Homo-oligomer: A and B are copies of this chain.
Amino acid sequence: MTPHALEAALRAVGAERYHNLHPFHRLLHDGGLTRGQVAAWALNRSHYQAMIPVKDATLLARLPTPELRRIWRQRIVDHDGEAEGDGGFARWRKLTASFGFADADVEAGEGVLPATKFAVQAYVRFVAERSLLEAIASSLTEMFSPAIIAERVSGMLANYPFVTPETLAYFDKRPAQASRDVDFALDYVCAHAVTAAQQQAAIAALRFKCDVLWAQLDALHFAYVEPGLPPPGAWRPEAL
Nearest CB in chain B: distance from A130 CB, A: 13
Q: Is the CB of A207 within 8 A of B233?
A: yes
Q: How many copies does the complex hold?
A: 2
Which A residues from 109 to 130 make CB contacts under 8 A with B? Answer: 113-115, 117-119, 121-122, 125
The smallest beta-carbon distance between A151 and chain B, in angstroms, is: 19
In the complex, the chain B residue whose C-beta lies closest to that of A216 is B115
Q: Which of A115, A117, A212, A233 has the most CB of B within 10 A?
A: A115
Complex interface: chain B residues within 8 A of A125 (CB): 121, 125
Contact-residue bracket for chain A: 20 to 34
Tell me whether A17 is interfacial, beta carbon within 8 Å.
yes
Q: A113-B215, A118-B122 are in contact. List 19 more A-B contacts (CB 8 A).
A: A16-B232, A114-B214, A115-B119, A115-B218, A117-B122, A118-B119, A118-B215, A121-B122, A125-B125, A210-B232, A211-B231, A215-B219, A215-B231, A218-B222, A219-B222, A221-B222, A221-B227, A221-B229, A226-B226
Please provide the 3 A-B residue pairs with the shortest distance between their CB atoms, ordered closest to farther. Answer: A114-B211, A222-B222, A118-B118
Q: Could you write out 30 A-B pairs with CB less than 8 Å apart? A: A16-B232, A113-B215, A114-B122, A114-B212, A114-B214, A114-B215, A115-B118, A115-B119, A115-B215, A115-B218, A117-B122, A118-B119, A118-B121, A118-B215, A121-B121, A122-B122, A125-B125, A207-B233, A211-B232, A211-B233, A214-B231, A214-B232, A218-B219, A218-B222, A218-B223, A218-B231, A219-B222, A221-B222, A221-B229, A227-B227
